[in-house]
Chain A
Amino acid sequence: MLLLTTTRDALLAPLQSVAGIVEKRHTLPILSNVLIEKHGDQLTLLATDIEIQIRTTTGGHIGGEDTSITVAAKKLQDILRALPSEGEVVVTLDDKRLTVKAGRSRFALQTLPAADYPRMNLPDGDATRFSISQKSFKRQLAQVAYAMAQQDIRYYLNGLLLIADGKELRMVATDGHRLAFASSPLEAEVPRTEVILPRKTVMELARQLADSEDPLEVVLAGNQVVFRFGPIELVSKLIDGKFPDYERVIPQNHQKLLTFERTPLLATLSRVAILTNDKFRGVRLVLGDGTLKIASTNAEQEEAQEELEVDYHGDPLDIGFNVTYLLDVLTNTHEDQIEWRFNDGNSSALVTLPGNDRFKYVVMPMRI
C-alpha cells in the first residue's frame, strides 16, 4: 500500500534530525530502526537510544494511507542521501517490506512492527513548564557544557544540572576540578525544580537548537524532561543522583581582582601551553605590580615564558593552573573583558564577566 509520495529532501531532513542518536550497536536490535508514523497529512519520525527519544512531525504529506512501521534508520538515510535531490520518492509498504522508489531505483527494506518499539511514556501530571528562546538556551548551554565530566565514576557529574527557580534558569556543570555556572532570566515564575541532564542529551541539544529567537518549551517532570522546538520533540531520561552543592564551591570574598582582555590572554596561554607537561598541563602565573608572568616547563626541561602588562596593583601572587581549564573558559565566553579573582596560591580562582553575575567559573589551582 502507498505510504507517501514526496521529494528526497522533505524526507531526508527530518530523518537526519532524528537518526543522529541511533546507535550502531545495541542490545535491542529494534533500536537501530526508526519509527515512521503516517497519520492524515502528518508524518512522524521517531528514534531513540533508550536514553533520549527524538520525534519530528512534518505536515503536508497528502495521499497515502495511515500506518506505522519501523525500518533501519541508517540504511534508509544512506539510501535517501545517495538519491538525486530532484525527482519524486515513492514509499510503499507491502507484506512487511518497505519499498523506496525513485526514478529507476528501487529499494526493499525489512521492517519490524511498530508495536514492538520501546517508546518513552510522556510524563503526565505534575510538571514544571517554561519557555525560553532557543538562542538564549543554546548560548547558556555552551557557557557551561565543556565543564561536564566524561565517564566519571561519580556518574552524577557526567551531566549538567538544570535548575528552574522562580524567574531564573540556572545551569551548572563540574568535573571536580572546575565548575561552570550560568543563569538566565525566565519570563514566568516557576516552582523550584532540579534535574541532571545526561551528557548525551546536552550534546544533542547543542547540535539541534537553532540560533534564533524561536521558543523552546521545556517540561521537567518526575524522571523525564521534554524539549519542544520547531518540529522536534526531544524526550530525555535524567541522571538519578544528587549533584554536589555548587553554591558552597563558588568563592565569595576574593580580594585580588584582575581585569584583562580575553583575546590577548587566550593567545598567550595557547602559546605557553605548547611546552606544558602532557599529563598535568600545568602553567605558572606570577602576578606582580602591573605585570602578569606566565610560564611553563615540561618533563624535558624545556621552558616557555611570556609577560603581559595588566591592570593590577595588589599583593604579589604565585599560582599554578591546568592550562586546559583556562583555555576552555576563554574559548567558550565571548565578552572582551573578563574579571579574575584570587585569594592566595592555594585557593580556587573565580572567573566572571564585568558587571554581570550571570556567569561564574571556578577553577582549582594546582601545585607546581
Chain B
Amino acid sequence: MIHPWLADTWQRLVGLGGRLPHALLFVGPEGLGKRDLADTLAARLLCSAPAVDGHACGHCVPCQLRLSGNHPDLLPIVPEADAAPESEGGEGGEGGEGGSGKKKSSQIRIEQIRDLQETLSVTGHQSSRRVIVVDPAEAMNAFTANALLKLLEEPPEGCIFLLVSSAPRRLLPTIRSRCQQWSFSRPADDVVAQWLLGPDAPPADLLALTGGMPLAAQRLAKSGSDALLRRFVKDIAALPAGDPLKLAGQWESWLKSKEALAAGFGMPQLVEWIQRWVTDLASLRLGGRVRFFPGEDGVIAALAQRTSVAAVTNCYNELARIRRVVQHPLNARLMLEDMLLRYARAVTGTRR
C-alpha cells in the first residue's frame, strides 16, 4: 500500500522500470511508511503482471505465494525481535514454548547474512528475480554489514536489495555508497491534513507528538497511547510544585503497569517524550514555537517564564546523553529520578 505522501516517490520508482538500480536505500525518520514502500516495491518486482499504476496484481502465482508469506524469492532480513510474532504463530515444536527464554536479538545477526549468501548462490525459484528487504539496516553491526557488502558489491543476477533505515548515519559509509539513496522527509501539511480526514486517522495531538510522522502517530493511537500521553502531560506539568523523587516512584510503577505494557510503552518512549517536552520548552524560551505539544502551549509558556536559557538548554543536553543509554538495562528508578531531578532543577531554578 502506498501512502498519499509517498505517491510521487512511487511514481518515480515505477517510472524507472528496468533501470532500477540493484540496491536502494530508503532513508527518513521513523513512521513514514518506508518499509511499506519497500514491501510494495518488492511485490511489484516479483509480480508476473503488475497493474498499470505499478502495483502488484495480487492474483498471479507469485503474488499468491507472497500474500500467504511463502514466496521463496522474497527474502526479508529483519532482527529476530521484529520477526518473532509470526514464527511463534506457526506451531513447529520447540520454538513456540520458550516465551520466557532468551530475549530475542534486536540486531541482524551475521548468520542471517551468511544464510542469505547461501540462498543467493543458487538460482531463483520462480525466476532469477529475487528481492531482499533489510529493515532496519542500522540493526546490522559492522561484521554483519561487511558480510552484506560483499553481496552488494557483486550481486547475483536478478537480485535487488531494498534497505530501509531511519538512522542512515549509523550505517557503514561503504554500505551507503553502494546503494542509491532515496531520502524522505516530513510529509507536507496539506497532504497529511487530507489523510487525517480519512478513516482510522490518529488524533492531531499524537501527530504533533511524533513530529508529524503519520504512521508513527497511527501506531500510537492504535496502542491506546492517548491516555498515557494525558497522564504524562498532567504529571510533568505539575512537577515544579511537586516532588521529583515521588513522581519517579510513581512512574516506575506506571512503566510496569498493565496499560503501559499493553501499549508497548517503555522507558525509551518515556525518555523521548520528556526530551520532546523539554525541546518545546527550550524552543519557546529561545523565541521559537511549540512543536510537539501544541495543545499544552499555555502550560509550557508558563514554565518557560520561570526558566533561564542556560538551565533549559543544559537540561536538554543532559537528556540527550541519557537517551543514548536508554536501551541499556539500567535501574529504571534511578534513571527516572536522575531525569526528573535535572528537569526540576531547570524549571524551578533551585538546587535540590
B329 within 8 A of A: no
Interface stretch (choices B8-16, B35-43, B124-132, B341-349): B124-132
Q: Is A86 an interface residue (CB 8 A)?
A: no
A-B contact count (CB 8 A): 57
Beyond A32-B92, A118-B71, whether A240 also contacts B121 by CB under 8 A is yes
Q: How far is the CA of A239 from the CA of B157 in the complex (A)?
A: 12
- Residue pair B92, A155 in contact (C-beta under 8 Å): no
Q: How far is the CA of A268 from the CA of B193 in the complex (A)?
A: 85
Contacts of B91 in A (CB 8 A): 110
Pairwise interchain contact B72-A223, C-beta atoms closer than 8 A: no
The answer to whether B118 and A155 have CB atoms under 8 Å apart is yes
Q: Mark B153-192, 1 if CB is under 8 A from A, else 0.
A: 0001100000000000000000000000000000000000
A117 B123 Cβ-Cβ under 8 A: no
Partner of B68, one of A116, A120, A238: A116
B126 x A121 contact (CB < 8 A): yes
- Report whether B122 and A198 are in contact in the complex, using a CB–CB cutoff of 8 Å: yes
Residues of chain A contacted by B119 (CB below 8 angstroms) = 50
Q: A118 contacts B72, CB within 8 Å?
A: yes
**Residue A30 at the B interface, CB < 8 A?**
yes
B156, A240: Cβ atoms closer than 8 Å? yes
* Shortest beta-carbon distance from B220 to chain A in Å: 30
A118 touches B65 (CB 8 A): yes
Q: Are A116 and B121 in contact (CB under 8 A)?
A: no
A51 touches B65 (CB 8 A): no
A115 at the interface (CB under 8 A from B): yes
Q: In this complex, which of B64, B72, B122, B124 has the most chain A Cβ atoms within 10 angstroms of its Cβ?
A: B122
Which residues of the other chain, B, contact A120 by a CB distance below 8 angstroms? Answer: 125
The interface residues of chain B, by DSSP majority, are classed as loop
Question: Using Cβ atoms and an 8 Å threshold, which residues of chain B touch A115?
Answer: 64, 68
Q: Which residues of chain A have C-beta atoms less than 8 A from B125's C-beta?
A: 50, 118, 120, 237
B69: interface (CB < 8 Å): yes
Q: How far is the CB of A290 from chain B (nearest CB, A)?
A: 49
Question: Which A residues lie within 8 Å of B65 (CB)?
Answer: 116, 118
Question: Which residues of A lie under 8 Å from residue B64 when comparing CB positions?
Answer: 115-116
By a CB distance below 8 angstroms, the chain B residues around A118 are 65, 70-72, 125
Q: Indicate if the CB atoms of A237 and B70 lie closer than 8 Å.
A: no
Residues in chain B within 8 A of chain A (CB atoms)? 64-65, 68-72, 87, 90-92, 117-119, 121-126, 128, 156-157
What are 22 residue pairs bridging A and B, where the CB atoms are less than 8 Å apart in the complex?
A29-B87, A29-B90, A29-B92, A30-B68, A30-B70, A115-B64, A116-B64, A116-B65, A116-B68, A116-B70, A117-B70, A118-B125, A155-B118, A155-B121, A158-B121, A223-B128, A237-B123, A238-B123, A240-B121, A240-B122, A240-B123, A241-B121
A residues touching B (Cβ–Cβ < 8 Å)?
25, 28-32, 50-51, 110, 113, 115-118, 120-121, 155-156, 158, 198, 223-224, 237-241
